[in-house]
Structures are given as structure tokens and as C-alpha cells.
Amino acid sequence: MKPIIPFCCLLALWACNEGAKNNTVTDSVPLKPDTAVAPALRQDTAKALYISDLRKGDTLIPKKVYADTLTFIKYNDDGDDALFVCVKNKDTMALIFNAADAPALNNGDLVALQWKLDLYAPAGDPEFSYPSEYVVDYRLLQPGKVTRLKKNYALLKCSYSDKEVSDWGKTAIEEAVWYYIANTTDTVIRKTIDVEHAPLEYRIEQNNNGGNSSVNNIIFATTNQPVLKRMFFNVETPYSLSE
């Protein structure tokens, strides 16, 4: 006697077979690459998007010269390309600066800047080009507090108890110290500089608190006060001192 398979069971078996076929077809369809993780297009630079924080919301024209007024912060020549670091509307940005000489500017100077967007090819990966800002020309519009103070005060001295400070560190700390004493409202420092026109010294010391090698102690002193004020310089925030 042949076994009788109920009709409902046959339907179930048919459904399972169809499901298996559907799964097989679906799995064999190639997936589209995820554009979020797909490698950047290296060859078609014509499709590069020319935008800049200097002109937010605008699509710019390659190699066209634009003009803006902004505040200079620092000249940085530590990498493959020198950078003109500046700020506009609280946005800090760095433009490539190809001139032979460093800009004769100080932190806080107001400048008229001519700049352009052009393709930049990194030294280590020249095929991976992308749009970047370049300085075309600049002009000092208004000297900042640091520039004005340097013209009128030549009595700032420096000493080092931390002998391991690099030349880069010495320059960065000096710039941060000038910016601090030009802008601080500390009454003793203001009196020393503006009223007494007396010498002001800053000492660079190692930070032995927690062993953080990226932080230096900065001790301000006068002839009568060996410890006038203690500040800190952090290489992660190199443009100013902190208390």
C-alpha cells in the first residue's frame, strides 16, 4: 500500500522549494559597492568639488582669485608644504603658502588675503589630488596687539631650565608668550609692561606633574618677583598659553 501524502504537506514542500530557489537567486545578485567605503576616485579630477570654508555654501571656480579679510594666526612650515594659518568667523583654516619668505605677520594681525582653489597633489601620494586653498598675495590691514607691543617693548627675556626643548618648541612658546602678554588683563603684568616698562622674564620648565611631555610650565618673573605667574604651554594647542 502506497503512503498517501496529504495535499497540505505537498503545498508546504513546494513553498520550501520555491523559497530555496528565491534565496539562491537573491544571493547570486552582485551587491552594489557601498559608496561610503569605496576607494576615492583618483583619475577623474574634473569631477572634484571646489568648496572652501572661506566661502561656505558656494561652489567655487578653479584657479579664480578671491579676496577676503581675515585674522592671521601662524606660519607653519613643519610639513611638506608651508601653511598660512588664519581665522575667519571663528573658523580656523590653513592655506598653502608657496612664497620663499615667511610672512612678516604676528598672531592677531588683520590681513587682506588673495587666494585661489587649485588641485593639490600630496608629496607621498601625488595621484590622489584634491582641491585646496593657496595664498596668492596678502597685505597687512591693521596690526594686532602683538605687532604693536613688539614695536614698543623690547624687554622680554627667556630662560630654559628644560634643556630638551626643540627649536620648534622654543619658537612656538615664544609666539604664545607674546600673544599672552599682549592680550592679558593681569594687572601685575600690565603694570610691568605698560607703566613701569620693566623687564619681564619667562622660564620654560619641564612639566613633572603626571609626566606629560607635551606640556611645559611657563613661569613669568620680574626683578623683584621670581614667580610672578605660572602658565602652561601645550603642543596640542600651540597658539596660546593656559592657566
Segments making up each domain of the chain, as ranges? 48-143, 146-234
Average pLDDT, the chain: 81
Which of the following CATH numbers is that of domain 48-143: 3.40.190.10, 3.40.50.2020, 2.40.50.140, 2.60.40.10?
2.40.50.140
Give the whole-angstrom CA distance, residue 124 versus residue 144.
37
Phi then psi for residue 53, to 5 deg, are -65, -15
Query: For the residues of 172-210, what is the DSSP string, one character each?
Result: HHHHHHHHHHHH---HHHHIIIIIS---EEEEEEE--ST
Residue where the block lists cell 580656523: 92
Task: Mark out the alpha helices in 35-107 (DSSP H runs).
Answer: none
Q: Which three cell numbers stand for residue 234?
A: 601645550
Q: pLDDT tens digits for 24-81?
A: 333 333 333 333 333 333 444 555 788 999 998 898 999 999 999 999 999 998 888 9
